[in-house]
């Protein structure tokens, strides 16, 4: 296993394609990459996808992004509840809970950035549901601008004291770091950096993070998002302290069952996470194990090799499935990132996962030319979408699609002799 140098669809893509083209990162603007044909690897080892398959993935991503663009508020955010004010024709269903707009906006932006669209993108895409041409670059610009207006003097993007404060903050910071990494625009540098500083300050010394800064409690889920933001900042040339990564790894180790590689949520052996009355019927998945694998891969891939491998085995024993009480886009996204890093694009773990992932994502995405919900994912079947609503479900669906299609198409993987 050779760990990928970068974490996210957007950044992996930028640097990978830039390296192939001999072009410094971020100099081309997003749409050049978004519309780019499959690049030929210098050594001819690129794992080519069949053009029909590639086309299917690109269409599914574009249709998801069009739904997101159609439901963005004029101020730039995505709402968990009032997205349906923007519907074309009959209103889309699937409201989420109040107070989650920062995180959902961050995720929606990551979905655009992951497809290579930045605030500089000029290309126009026709939306058949409104008969308007949409400039994704404008959508991204408005979203980032709104997030930055939310940031306080300490660098925090989230509502202070909100239930999921550090979640929201970490996702927003990740979006800003990716926007900066893709474009190197000074517009985002200070905001991204101060977001990272707020994360670093909020860490429990030598451990991880939980809902509020430095509260003494830790959980693997919030810790995973914080590490994603820090890693993105690090590879974008921002300052992300080493002690943060070391603490996160110490936390993940503390909650890992050494015999199986299974990672707990708030303690070793904590299995199913649920909210009573909301999602206790859903099956448990190895989401925390996937997040633990990513932390290990980013921080100490050699030292943690055996545990990462054990985690990969758990994930492939529980591949994505579009079935009742099994849909969990949060798991699908993190599982995809972890397994792609593990042995993508040619390894058997990734291949098995990816096959199931594509089937599940395509069958669960709304495909209906006569409905405004076309391109989105329904809320009811998804384990966690009751919190973030249709915009959340759709952003996560697109993000998982991007790992499946864009990384495999454009990131050549290790050289073969």
Strand ranges in 72-196 using DSSP code E only, listed in sequence order: 124-127, 132-135
Considering the complex, state which of residue 296 and residue 390 has its C-beta at the smaller distance from Zn ion: 390
Considering the complex, state which of residue 92 and residue 230 has its C-beta at the smaller distance from Zn ion: 92
Considering the complex, state which of residue 92 and residue 200 has its C-beta at the smaller distance from Zn ion: 92
Quote the least distance from Cβ 34 to Zn ion, whole Å.
24
Q: Tell me if the bond preceding 345 is cis, omega within 30° of 0.
A: yes
Residue-level length of the chain: 417
Q: Does 87 bind Zn ion (CB under 5 A)?
A: yes
Quote the least distance from Cβ 324 to Zn ion, whole Å.
25
Quote the least distance from Cβ 92 to Zn ion, whole Å.
3
Considering the complex, state which of residue 288 and residue 395 has its C-beta at the smaller distance from Zn ion: 395
Residues sharing a CB contact under 8 Å with residue 233, sequence separation 6 or more, in sequence order: 173, 177, 192, 193, 196, 239, 240
Contact between residue 58 and residue 405 where contact means Cβ atoms under 8 Å apart? yes
Considering the complex, state which of residue 90 and residue 160 has its C-beta at the smaller distance from Zn ion: 90
Among the candidate windows 84-92, 115-123, 221-229, 315-323, which touches Zn ion by CB under 5 A?
84-92
Q: Which one among 148, 372, 391, 403 touches Zn ion, defined by CB under 5 A?
A: 372
Contact between residue 7 and residue 231 where contact means Cβ atoms under 8 Å apart? yes
Contact between residue 62 and residue 125 where contact means Cβ atoms under 8 Å apart? yes
Quote the least distance from Cβ 9 to Zn ion, whole Å.
25
User: Burial code of 348-385, b = ≥16 C-beta within 10 A, e = fewer?
Assistant: ebbbebbebbbebbbebbbeeeebbbbbbbbbebbbbb
Quote the least distance from Cβ 72 to Zn ion, whole Å.
11
Quote the least distance from Cβ 397 to Zn ion, whole Å.
15
> Most distant CA pair in the chain: distance in Å?
56
Contact between residue 54 and residue 38 where contact means Cβ atoms under 8 Å apart? yes
Q: For Cα atoms 373, 374, 377, give the angle at the middle one, nearest 5 degrees.
A: 70
Considering the complex, state which of residue 37 and residue 74 has its C-beta at the smaller distance from Zn ion: 74
Among the candidate windows 8-16, 215-223, 264-272, 366-374, which touches Zn ion by CB under 5 A?
366-374
Residues 89-128 that bind Zn ion (CB under 5 A): 92
Residues that bind Zn ion in the complex, under the rule CB under 5 A:
87, 92, 372
């Amino acid at each position: 296993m050779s760990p990928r140098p970068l974490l996210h669809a957007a950044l992996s893509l930028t640097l990978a394609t830039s390296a192939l083209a001999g072009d410094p990162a971020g100099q081309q603007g997003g749409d050049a990459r978004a519309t780019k044909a499959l690049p030929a690897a210098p050594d001819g080892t690129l794992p080519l996808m069949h053009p029909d398959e590639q086309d299917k993935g690109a269409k599914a991503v574009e249709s998801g992004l069009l739904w997101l663009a159609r439901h963005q508020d004029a101020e730039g955010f995505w709402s968990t509840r009032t997205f349906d004010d923007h519907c074309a024709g009959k209103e889309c269903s699937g409201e989420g809970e109040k107070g989650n707009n920062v995180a959902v906006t961050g995720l929606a932006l990551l979905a655009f950035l992951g497809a290579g669209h930045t605030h500089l993108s000029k290309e126009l895409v026709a939306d058949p549901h409104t008969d308007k041409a949409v400039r994704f670059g404008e959508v991204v610009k408005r979203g980032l601008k709104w997030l930055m207006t939310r940031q306080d003097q300490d660098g925090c993007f989230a509502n202070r004291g909100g239930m999921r404060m550090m979640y929201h903050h970490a996702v927003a910071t990740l979006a800003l770091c990716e926007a900066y990494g893709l474009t190197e625009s000074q517009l985002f540098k200070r905001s991204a950096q101060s977001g990272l500083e707020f994360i670093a300050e909020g860490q429990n010394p030598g451990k991880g993070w939980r809902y509020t800064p430095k509260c003494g409690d830790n959980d693997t889920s919030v810790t995973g998002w914080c590490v994603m933001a820090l890693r993105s900042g690090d590879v974008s040339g921002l300052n992300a302290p080493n002690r943060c990564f070391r603490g996160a790894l110490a936390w993940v180790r503390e909650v890992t069952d050494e015999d199986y590689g299974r990672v707990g949520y708030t303690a070793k052996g904590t299995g199913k996470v649920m909210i009573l009355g909301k999602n206790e019927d859903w099956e448990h998945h190895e989401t925390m194990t996937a997040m633990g694998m990513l932390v290990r891969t980013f921080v100490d891939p050699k030292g943690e090799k055996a545990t990462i491998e054990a985690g990969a085995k758990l994930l492939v024993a529980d591949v994505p499935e579009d079935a009742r009480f099994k849909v969990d886009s949060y798991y699908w996204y993190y599982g995809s990132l972890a397994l792609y890093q593990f042995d993508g694009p040619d390894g058997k773990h990734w291949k098995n996962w990816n096959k199931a992932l594509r089937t599940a994502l395509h069958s669960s995405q709304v495909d209906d030319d006569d409905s405004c919900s076309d391109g989105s994912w329904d809320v009811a079947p998804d384990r966690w979408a009751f919190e973030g609503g249709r915009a959340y479900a759709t952003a996560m669906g697109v993000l998982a699609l991007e790992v499946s299609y864009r990384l495999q198409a454009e990131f050549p993987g290790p050289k073969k002799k």
